[in-house]
Structure 1
Amino acid sequence: MAILKRRIAPPDPWTSRARPAFLYVMYGLLLWSVPLGLIGGARPDVAQAIIGAMQAYFNALPEPLYALFGTGYLGYTAARAWGKSKGAER
């Protein structure tokens, strides 16, 4: 007979949505390469304009924002791995 464990819900519902939301954004960026590739095959000038606009947008974001995101994401990953290795999280 299997013992079912109740999962304790976090008090803040946004906490449980943070990681999936980030993954959905990354999936969207990866999937965007398919229509952009098709546009590039049919209209290279339009694809180049789209790429230029996206590069300008990402270059306009301040460097400390990238550092903050990287630090937070890597810190979360390290803390999660440490918690799992200690048996605190399953």
Structure 2
Amino acid sequence: MKQTPLELEKRETQFTPCPDFPPDAVGLDIKMTPDPVVLGAVETFDIKGTMKKDIIAGDWLAGTVFSTTQEYTAPDELPAKYTIAVAIGRG
């Protein structure tokens, strides 16, 4: 019996909470375009979430529900293994 390899399925990049964060850390809903990363191209990150505490006046985000779009130019080369991290915080 001969089997034909299954066609590879494109999978959306999954952003999971960092394992070192406390269990009550707020998770973010992140969509990256293009996905997967295109070397040297502008990557767009649509980031949404709901904070557990209100963001105070003067923060660049306002209210408990937020949505932002950020762009980042991918490097021309990447190592075989790499990590993309997205975080919202205050200093």
Same-fold call, TM cutoff 0.5? no
Q: Which entry has the higher C-alpha Rg, 1 or 2? A: 1
In the superposition, the TM-score normalised over structure 1's length comes to 0.20
| Bigger relative contact order (CA 8 A; separation at least 6) | 2
The structure in which a higher percent of residues are strand is 2
